[in-house]
Structure 1
Amino acid sequence: MTSFDAIVIGGGHNGLVSAAVLAKSGRKVLVLEAATDVGGAARTEEFAPGFRVSSVAHLLNRLHPDVVKTLELERHGLDIARGDFVPSVALSQDGLPLVLHGAYGEVLTGAGSTEQTAWKQLRAQLLRYAGILKPFLARRPPDLSGMSLLETLSLGQTALALKKLGKEDMRDFLRVLLMNVADLLDEQLADDRLKGLLAFDATLGSHLGPRSPTSLLGLYYRLAGEAGGTAGAQVQPKGGMGAVISAIRAAAEKAGVTIRTATPVARIIVEKGCAAGVVLDSGEMLRAKTIVSAINPAITLLDLVGSREIDTGFIRKVRNIRMKGDAAKLNLALDRPPQFAGADAADHKGRLVIAPSPDGVERAFNPSKYGEFSPEPVMEITLPSLADPSLAPDGACVLSAVVQYAPYALKQGWSAGRAKFLKAVMAQLEVYTPGIGKTVRYAELLTPADIEARYRMPGGHWHHGELQADQILMSRPVSGWSGYDTPIDGLFLAGAGSHPGGGVSGAPGLNAAKRIIATKG
């Protein structure tokens, strides 16, 4: 049997980051990826002849600076410049759009002076409050049952940062922390276009509406991310998200990581309560005393380890992780670029959001609670081939959209409901860019069930578990086991289902690798 110091299951971005960091520490590391290529849901894939698109994630807004620095990603081809920040464009049916320029609205256009002033104040407040939470997302959650000196100091630094806000700001931070986003927006803003955009961003990818308790946390999570060293910024990488994966892979291979694709793992070997290796689908057995799983925690623990090896109470917690996705991905191959009403050329290179108001987002959410979809879905649209013409044939265009709310467990089933949902999405697009339907050469709609099957994400949830108050920080993936460890000695979790969650950040992979190095030397 071949042996390694560490075997990483899953070649998504978190798995590659974890493998690279472990290899840089002098370990012999193997990555096993079930698909034919690495990258998971952040690949760049051809979905129609000559048309390529970022698979699920299509914007980069949370790649952690420590990942960029530790892996020297810029030396391996990652190129993110401040000038690449894409605007957020809140589309309107009956007027000009509202546009947040730069790093999430450093400049706001399309609104009156009173609204611009109100937004400037709210944006500054949101970034301050997200800054309080940001350090928690960048490190292992504290173990409240037995905090180390370093963890105690970290919590102390957070308390100091909170105190530095001042009495009024600190009181308001605590007041709004678990608030719903719609109430906060109604307090401070008047423009429905702006409020709709913020409500959409706060709930994107979650089974929440703007009026759901704690929905404001989603906006903090977004603003705690960054691109190019700037909080709230977002970019469309040239070459799609696959370009980011290529840089991470290059860093991993430079560090000495061995990568095997098309190599599914059938079982994690456990001997006397300790991880000892893996058995592949082919029957091949590989040995390692450290196993890092960068795939879904439920698959890892329930399927690859098995309930017989783990305490019943822990298994019960894992089985009850909420992870039913609520977002679909639409890829369109178009004869020519669409023209969204009122949007100029620069707007078309940004993210165009159809979310007319917080109530509009809430109405789109309501049917999903009962296994149905709205006839007026809300969505985030990009036209990546405008910024990178290599993604489409000459004169043609790629449209990539993330569509809320597409319930995983559709009442009528996706076999019957797919065509109806696509028709609803296209009808909504026609309202904002009339005639687009006549330019469609090919349409690919990935429902949560499709995302589950193609990318091995249970429930089709890109966070591998809801990012809600009871499933974050010290309760991610489950309470008592938030620090990347598992009940199996030598088995660690490093995927989006771990702290701090999903998005192309690399933070779970980096933090898990640091934990392994700290505990195993």
Structure 2
Amino acid sequence: MHFGTAAAEFDVVVIGAGLGGLSAAAACARAGRSVFVVDAQDGPGGYAHAFRRGPYRFDPAVHVTSLAHEGEVLYEYLRALGALDAVEFLDLDEFYGVELPGFRMRVPHGVDAFIEAHAERWPAQRAGIRAVVRLCQEVFEESQQLSTRTSWRDLDEAVRTSPLMFEHRLSTVDDVMDRFVTDGKARSALSALWPYMGVPPSRLTFTGFCSMLMSMVRRGPSYCRGGFQSLADALAGVVRAAGGLFRYGTRVTRIVIEGGRAAGVVLADGTLVRAGTVISNADATTTMHQLVGAQHLPANYVRRLGRLTPSWSAFVLFAATTLDLAELAPAHETFVFDHWDHDVSEAAIGQGQRGGMWLSVPSLVDPGMAPPGEHTVVFSTLARADCPRWGDRKVEFELGMLERLERLLPGITGTLTFLDSATPRTLCRYTGNQAGAIYGWENTPRQSQPKRLRCVTPLPGLLLAGHWTEPGAGSFRVILSGMQAAAVAIGAANQDDFVARLLVGAGSRP
């Protein structure tokens, strides 16, 4: 798709077709805005962009999502977009599995079942386990009522109505967990979900942990039939159905600034695309320093951006096997640790070793991911991007991951039918994220909502979406970030107004 010599003009240009960008583009298009989406890759999805190798289909990074049951936010958002028929969510029988030295556990979903499963292992900690999980529930419920755009004028009221959120806004998981659960191993098991957020409990934001835990534990996480590419395709389909346009395989080289506001983008081939609103789903530092230029931003915003720290990257092993994994029956997602002390696991990451691992077996819930009689396996570990000579270390790291995988699934190494891997450099090259970050900024208290970058930037006309902005990391949260950016772009007065505009559909264009 080419525009010729004249500059094209749209209401909204979206940079990056990850889930956050697609969510923003879909909502804007559905509300009647003309939308143009540009992405450097060959199709939509970002970290949700699946790939095929022969008969095998793999999700590179997204393995579950949350709040996807009828009546929950993601499900109802897709319904409002008219995209619900294009994606099928599959319920998972369990929440997750945990493997620690000498210890294995299958964790059920359901708040009471989650509490009881841990209390059965540590009976003396029952009261503390129940108290901390109930606190997580209360914090999560408060967070659902708190606008991410709370102004200073509304702060007193927000503190009054959400006292636990504000009390714990700078707390880590360990800060809170230590008050209730005295057994160190019980704490380690309760917080085993932390690789989903990339930061161990000693540094992980407690409010963010509450959101991650409670959004999935109540009714369980969900998987998309065909992989999460189907979710990306569903959102992209909304944009196309409303007349929106995509250009893949093309980079944005500059965000155009005119009269002190964002006015469009320039593509790598020199094409000028004008727009009233630019939404960037790209790396926030790249957006501000390379595409905008620090000279167009307030000095305090530039300083704040420079203080933020990106998350760890990952090393990902992709495998297929003829081993009967249904007989071994691992959980859809299992968190794997070589140490009970999660800080030791993170120290290993910092030393260029594996730590904070998770195993996904998508073909157990969706057999179509592999041929009959075979299974696909994705085994990931958090990893540092600046490890010297990743190219030389790839084979060595791959062998180490295979050895650990064999201990999890005995017999798998002798039954492999496919093997490949991605290093942090692969992720950096593919997404453009600085340091191959898989969660945007680190999910520490001082880099999480409400201290993460807001979707509204100091530059009028420029909005952010994705895991670099509020509410944070995770497939549902980046979709929510796109919803928030779209609400600003279309001028929605509140949540009800936003949903109403989507339900009206493409005929609502002013």
TM-score per shorter chain, which class?
A: 0.7 to 0.9
- Residue 295, structure 1, aligned to residue 269, structure 2: no
1:222 pairs, out of 209, 212, 221, with 212
Distance (whole Å) between structure 1 residues aligned to residue 134 and residue 362 of structure 2 = 29
Taking the TM superposition and a 5 Å limit, the aligned residue runs for 1:324-363 are 324-338=311-325, 347-355=329-337, 358-359=340-341, 361-363=342-344
| Structure 1: gaps of 5 or more residues | 163-169
Per-residue displacement from partner, 1:225-258 (whole Å, max 9, x unpaired)? Answer: 34xxx74721222111112212222233333322
SS in 2 for 1:236: strand
Give the aligned partner of residue 322 of structure 1: 309
2:200 pairs, out of 198, 209, 212, with 209
| Pair 215,19 (structure 1): closer, same or farther in 2 beyond 3 Å | closer
Distance (whole Å) between structure 2 residues aligned to residue 68 and residue 469 of structure 1 = 29
The one-letter code of the counterpart of 2:280 is S
Following superposition, the deviation at residue 277 of structure 1 comes to 1.4
The one-letter code of the counterpart of 2:63 is H
Distance (whole Å) between structure 1 residues aligned to residue 397 and residue 123 of structure 2 = 39
Following superposition, the deviation at residue 391 of structure 1 comes to 0.9
Taking the TM superposition and a 5 Å limit, the aligned residue runs for 1:83-98 are 83-91=91-99, 94=102, 97-98=104-105
C-alpha contact (below 8 Å) 1:86/1:235 kept by paired residues: no
- Residue 488, structure 1, aligned to residue 459, structure 2: yes
Following superposition, the deviation at residue 69 of structure 1 comes to 2.5
Give the aligned partner of residue 395 of structure 1: 373
Distance (whole Å) between structure 1 residues aligned to residue 67 and residue 487 of structure 2 = 19
SS in 2 for 1:451: helix
Following superposition, the deviation at residue 54 of structure 1 comes to 0.9
Q: TM-score, structure 2 length as denominator?
A: 0.84
Following superposition, the deviation at residue 215 of structure 1 comes to 5.0
Give the aligned partner of residue 259 of structure 2: 272
Give the aligned partner of residue 177 of structure 2: 184
Per-residue displacement from partner, 1:69-107 (whole Å, max 9, x unpaired)? Answer: 2442563323336x4354311236656x32111247735
| Pair 86,69 (structure 1): closer, same or farther in 2 beyond 3 Å | same
- Residue 426, structure 1, aligned to residue 402, structure 2: yes
Distance (whole Å) between structure 1 residues aligned to residue 247 and residue 111 of structure 2 = 39
| Count of aligned positions | 479
- Residue 140, structure 1, aligned to residue 145, structure 2: no
Q: TM-score, structure 1 length as denominator?
A: 0.82
Give the aligned partner of residue 125 of structure 1: 135
The one-letter code of the counterpart of 1:498 is T
Give the aligned partner of residue 160 of structure 2: 159
Give the aligned partner of residue 59 of structure 1: 64
| Pair 232,220 (structure 1): closer, same or farther in 2 beyond 3 Å | farther
Distance (whole Å) between structure 1 residues aligned to residue 89 and residue 420 of structure 2 = 29
Taking the TM superposition and a 5 Å limit, the aligned residue runs for 1:249-288 are 249-288=236-275
Distance (whole Å) between structure 2 residues aligned to residue 356 and residue 476 of structure 1 = 31
- Residue 511, structure 1, aligned to residue 464, structure 2: no
Following superposition, the deviation at residue 294 of structure 1 comes to 1.5
Give the aligned partner of residue 32 of structure 1: 38
SS in 2 for 1:220: helix
- Residue 448, structure 1, aligned to residue 424, structure 2: yes
Per-residue displacement from partner, 1:361-406 (whole Å, max 9, x unpaired)? Answer: 322211334x4215xx3411111112212111221111112313x1
The one-letter code of the counterpart of 1:430 is E
Following superposition, the deviation at residue 281 of structure 1 comes to 0.8
Per-residue displacement from partner, 1:158-207 (whole Å, max 9, x unpaired)? Answer: 63354xxxxxxx6x994796144387268427583x6434333135442x
% of aligned pairs identical? 21
- Residue 99, structure 1, aligned to residue 106, structure 2: yes
SS in 2 for 1:106: helix
C-alpha contact (below 8 Å) 1:53/1:331 kept by paired residues: yes
- Residue 49, structure 1, aligned to residue 54, structure 2: yes
| Pair 28,183 (structure 1): closer, same or farther in 2 beyond 3 Å | closer
Cα RMSD of the aligned pairs, angstroms, is: 3.1
The one-letter code of the counterpart of 1:188 is V
C-alpha contact (below 8 Å) 1:349/1:387 kept by paired residues: no
C-alpha contact (below 8 Å) 1:331/1:399 kept by paired residues: yes
| Pair 301,180 (structure 1): closer, same or farther in 2 beyond 3 Å | same
The one-letter code of the counterpart of 1:372 is G
Give the aligned partner of residue 77 of structure 1: 86
Give the aligned partner of residue 165 of structure 1: none
| Structure 2: gaps of 5 or more residues | 1-6, 494-509
C-alpha contact (below 8 Å) 2:16/2:281 kept by paired residues: yes
Give the aligned partner of residue 437 of structure 1: 413
C-alpha contact (below 8 Å) 2:256/2:265 kept by paired residues: yes
- Residue 409, structure 1, aligned to residue 390, structure 2: no
Following superposition, the deviation at residue 280 of structure 1 comes to 0.8
| Pair 449,222 (structure 1): closer, same or farther in 2 beyond 3 Å | same
